[in-house]
């Protein structure tokens, strides 16, 4: 279903709507003839989708590779040997689990002692399959927030079909029932947080004027139990053109605080401390993140910050006493400062320490910080020195223990139980080897972008593969929103691609966060072409090294990565023989008018601004695809239920390319939201279609 900000018009009216497109040089008509495909649930667009799906499914499911591949991927995705990651609520550790017998999933719990056993004793708390059947809904699990400290009262979010919009219901764990007279919210992109047993913060669709232009709530209210939502008291209102707003409570004994966050844009925000009915603005840079850890205020910088006679560098992590800061003191301890090759990849707080996850040349290492007698003590954690590390605290208020996840391309992911203050850790769970990793090797190379920037990328390939340009290769990239792409273990990739003789390449292009804010900001807005240049440079470098050649090279990306491969497709089609474009942005003239698109103008710029559009128009795939050029074959995939990136992007691009005579395939899943799939069976289908397409194009 469309988000509240998208009001579909009947087709007869849509057909009369015109969209001004740039004149000259971009191959686009003055009027968009495919605007009617933006009507997400319209009868005519859905009939068009059904026809396109039939063509793609008939071809790909008819290939001999498809059926065994789908069966194998289904076995991997449903495997009982997967790691059941848990989150603590009160005394128990909860996991949401899907498999062949629990298609929509079960929410279950166990104790930590039981979780450490090879076969934990699980207690099912909520069966989503049974709930969906009872209520006649296609529920998809969207998460839960519990009331500290007991964790027995929860606010459960359920999405219809996997979209971002969800209903919220209060759930009583002890009785295994939803609370009849409890807190409930209708379907919306809501944000909720507990204040106490009878009060919550709520940001939701309160009616006309309550949403931002991005489709997110702009008003935070305090809602008391037993009162109607309409009577909830307003705490804060953001501006209509802000991104959104949220609120939460820090329950740390002795350091209990309430906070309001005004998200102005994707990279700018204000933070307010709520004291009674008053709000105190935390005096931080707008583009910095800030949070509290007990008595300390921690600030993460996205740009240089000069305070008094001190300048703190972009990408640094600072700390100071919260009360002293509120009193006007501006003296900070520098907890982390970036280098040319390192950036801060994450921060986790336990009861006794801060754990800094540092990314150094796209490999993680851990640093532990303890605040003792007013000073920070630092030590390096003796963690595995390869691949990717992820850290999550068991409970940042009560426990010094944390989960450490270790993974890379060829070693199955292992989950450890660790504790601050020591390097000792105990393995809890590990994936099986879903594919034989022995024949493969991982190498990190660098390509040189046109402006001289060295761009790292990983190659996973057979150790005995010949460097004669004949290897079928998939190049994956993202390059946006300061998101880092790191080594990962995937049974799907291993079985469906590496095991079929393929080479997998992961590109760490600008726009991502691999080297901190500077790496991201280097490809922002008018500099977006740098991300595409980096990706193309990696593709060319693969050819120079003999790893592959255009005949055997495919590219794949989703969401912002869908824009990336769409731009690469239209700019350098001769470099590739296959493109997989997933849940993509493609019409960059209208992206800010579709669903959550307005929230991304900080990333791409405002197409309604002439200067910004001059840059955007040069790469917008929908406006640069041409009947006069020859393109590699493309598989576009999206979801009807994607209420973040509008499916109209992919629909219109396919219609346009088909009109121009290009050979493309299109598959739109009816469920799945922005993930593209709502359950394991749909994931197996999606990936089997994807890799069947790539195998047939690139071998």
| pLDDT (tens digit per residue) in 548-563 | 999 999 999 999 999 9
The pLDDT of residue 15: 26
Q: Percent of the chain at pLDDT above 70?
A: 96
The pLDDT of residue 17: 27
**Torsions phi, psi for 375 (to 5 deg):** -130, 150
- Kind plus residue range of the DSSP H or E element containing 11: helix 11-14
User: 312-363, pLDDT tens digit by residue?
Assistant: 999 999 999 999 999 999 999 999 999 999 999 999 999 999 999 999 999 9
User: 671-686, pLDDT tens digit by residue?
Assistant: 888 998 889 999 999 9
Q: Percent of the chain at pLDDT above 90?
A: 93
Query: Mean pLDDT in the chain?
Result: 94
Residue 63 has pLDDT above 60, yes or no: yes
SS (H, E, C) 435-459: CCCCCEEEEEEEEECCCCCEEEEEE
Q: Is the dihedral of CA 521, 522, 526, 528 positive or negative?
A: negative
| Helical packing angle, 680-698 and 66-78, nearest 10° | 140
Task: Decide: 393 and 404 in contact? Cβ < 8 Å.
Answer: no
The pLDDT of residue 100: 95
* Confidence label for 36 from pLDDT (cuts 50, 70 and 90): very high
Of the given ranges (24-38, 44-58, 620-634), which has the lowest mean pLDDT? 24-38
- How many Cβ atoms are within 10 Å of 273's Cβ, its own excluded? 17
Mean of pLDDT values over 100-128: 97
Mean of pLDDT values over 444-448: 98
**Measured distance CA(576)–CA(600) in Å, rounded:** 29
Q: Which of 3, 559, 620, 639 is catalytic?
A: 559
pTM above 0.85, yes or no: yes
Burial class (CB in 10 A: 0-12, 13-18, 19+), 158: buried
Question: Catalytic residue at 520?
Answer: no
Mean of pLDDT values over 200-214: 97
Q: Is the dihedral of CA 555, 558, 561, 564 positive or negative?
A: positive
SS (H, E, C) 321-357: EHHHHHCCCCCCEEEECCCCCEEEEEEEECCCCEEEE
DSSP output for 547-574 = S--GGGEEEEEETHHHHHHHHHHHH-GG
Report how far Cα 359 is from the mean position of its chain's Cα atoms. 18
User: 488-512, pLDDT tens digit by residue?
Assistant: 999 999 999 999 999 999 999 999 9
The pLDDT of residue 387: 86
**Measured distance CA(579)–CA(559) in Å, rounded:** 14
The pLDDT of residue 323: 97
Nearest C-alpha neighbor of 264 from the set 291, 298, 288: 288
The pLDDT of residue 8: 26
Residue 687 has pLDDT above 60, yes or no: yes
The pLDDT of residue 29: 53
* Confidence label for 5 from pLDDT (cuts 50, 70 and 90): very low
Mean of pLDDT values over 15-40: 60
- Kind plus residue range of the DSSP H or E element containing 622: helix 621-624
Edge-to-edge strands, sheet with 363-372: 342-349, 354-360, 363-372, 375-380
Tokens representing 321 are: 């006493």
**Torsions phi, psi for 554 (to 5 deg):** -120, 160
The pLDDT of residue 673: 87
* Confidence label for 30 from pLDDT (cuts 50, 70 and 90): low
3 state DSSP class of 234: strand
* In 248-392, alpha helices (H): 322-326
**Measured distance CA(400)–CA(386) in Å, rounded:** 25
The pLDDT of residue 26: 46
The pLDDT of residue 378: 97
* Cα 237 to Cα 194, 247, 263, distances in angstroms: 19, 11, 11
Report how far Cα 29 is from the mean position of its chain's Cα atoms. 34
CA dihedral 168, 191, 351, 416 (to 10 degrees): 60
**Torsions phi, psi for 287 (to 5 deg):** -95, 10
For the chain, the first-to-last Cα distance in angstroms comes to 39
Question: Catalytic residue at 674?
Answer: yes
SS (H, E, C) 493-534: HHHHCHHHCCEEEEECCECECCCCHHHHHCCCHHHCHHHHHH
Residue 221 has pLDDT above 60, yes or no: yes
> DSSP 3-state helix, strand, coil percentages of the chain (rounded to 5)?
25, 35, 40
User: 398-443, pLDDT tens digit by residue?
Assistant: 999 999 999 999 999 999 999 999 999 999 999 999 999 999 999 9
Nearest C-alpha neighbor of 620 from the set 28, 14, 19: 28
User: 236-293, pLDDT tens digit by residue?
Assistant: 999 999 999 999 999 999 999 999 999 999 999 999 999 988 999 999 999 999 999 9
Specify which residues 462 forms β-bridges with: 440
């Amino acid at each position: 279903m469309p988000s509240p900000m998208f009001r579909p018009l009947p087709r007869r009216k849509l057909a009369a709507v015109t969209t001004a497109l740039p004149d000259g040089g971009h191959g686009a008509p003055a009027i968009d003839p495919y605007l009617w495909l933006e009507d997400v649930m319209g009868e005519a667009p859905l009939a068009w989708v059904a026809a396109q799906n039939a063509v793609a499914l008939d071809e790909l499911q008819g290939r001999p590779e498809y059926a065994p591949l789908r069966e194998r991927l289904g076995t991997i995705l449903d495997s009982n040997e997967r790691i059941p990651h848990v989150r603590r609520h009160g005394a128990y550790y909860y996991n949401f689990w899907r498999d062949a017998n629990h298609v929509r999933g079960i929410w279950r719990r166990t104790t930590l002692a039981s979780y450490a056993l090879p076969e934990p004793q699980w207690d099912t708390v909520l069966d989503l399959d049974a709930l969906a059947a009872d209520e006649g809904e296609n529920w998809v699990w969207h998460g839960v927030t519990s009331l500290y400290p007991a964790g027995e009262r929860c606010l459960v979010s359920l999405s219809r079909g996997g979209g971002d919009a969800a209903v919220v219901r209060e759930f009583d764990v002890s009785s295994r029932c939803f609370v009849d007279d409890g807190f409930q919210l209708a379907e919306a992109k809501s944000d909720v947080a507990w204040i106490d047993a009878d009060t919550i913060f709520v940001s939701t669709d309160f009616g006309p004027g309550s949403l931002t232009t991005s489709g997110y709530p702009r008003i935070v209210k305090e809602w008391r139990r037993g009162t109607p939502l309409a009577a909830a008291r307003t705490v804060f209102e953001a501006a209509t053109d802000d991104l959104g707003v949220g609120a939460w409570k820090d329950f740390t004994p002795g350091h209990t605080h309430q906070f309001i966050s005004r998200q102005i844009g994707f990279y700018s925000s204000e933070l307010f401390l709520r004291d009674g009915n008053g709000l105190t603005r935390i005096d931080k840079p707008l583009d910095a993140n800030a949070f509290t850890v007990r008595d300390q205020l921690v600030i993460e910088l996205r740009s240089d910050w000069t305070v008094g006679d001190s300048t703190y560098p972009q990408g640094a992590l600072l700390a100071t006493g919260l009360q002293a800061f509120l009193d006007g003191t501006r003296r900070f301890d520098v907890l982390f400062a970036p280098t040319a090759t390192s950036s801060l990849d994450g921060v986790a707080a336990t009861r006794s320490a801060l754990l800094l996850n540092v990314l150094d040349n796209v490999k993680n290492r851990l640093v532990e910080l303890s605040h003792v007698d007013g000073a920070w003590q630092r030590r390096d954690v003796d963690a595995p020195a390869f691949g990717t590390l992820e850290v999550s605290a068991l409970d940042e208020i009560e426990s010094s223990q944390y989960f450490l996840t270790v993974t890379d391309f060829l070693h199955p992911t292992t989950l450890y139980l660790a504790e601050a203050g020591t390097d000792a850790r105990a393995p809890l769970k590990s994936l099986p080897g879903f594919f034989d990793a022995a024949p493969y090797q991982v190498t990190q190379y660098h390509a040189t972008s046109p402006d001289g920037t060295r761009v790292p990328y990983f190659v996973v390939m057979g150790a005995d593969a010949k460097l004669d340009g004949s290897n079928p290769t998939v190049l994956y990239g993202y390059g946006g929103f300061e998101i880092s792409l790191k080594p990962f273990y995937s049974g799907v990739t291993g079985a469906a691609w590496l095991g079929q003789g393929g080479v997998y390449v992961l590109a760490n292009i600008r726009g991502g966060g691999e080297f901190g804010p500077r790496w991201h900001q280097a490809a922002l807005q008018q500099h977006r072409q740098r991300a595409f240049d980096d990706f193309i440079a990696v593709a060319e470098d693969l050819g120079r090294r003999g790893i592959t050649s255009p005949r055997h090279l495919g590219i794949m990306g989703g969401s912002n990565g869908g824009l990336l491969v769409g731009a690469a497709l239209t700019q350098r089609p001769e470099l590739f023989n296959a493109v997989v474009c997933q849940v993509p942005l493609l019409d960059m003239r209208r992206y800010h008018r579709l669903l959550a698109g307005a929230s991304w103008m900080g990333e791409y710029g405002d197409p309604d601004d002439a200067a910004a559009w001059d840059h955007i128009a040069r790469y917008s795939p929908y406006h640069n695809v041409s009947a006069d050029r020859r393109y590699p074959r493309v598989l576009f995939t999206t979801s009807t239920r994607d209420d973040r990136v509008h499916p109209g992007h992919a629909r219109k691009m396919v219609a346009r390319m088909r009109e121009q005579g290009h050979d493309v395939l299109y598959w739109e899943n009816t469920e799945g939201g922005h993930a593209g799939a709502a359950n394991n069976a749909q994931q197996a289908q999606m990936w089997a279609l994807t890799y069947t397409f790539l195998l047939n194009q690139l071998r």
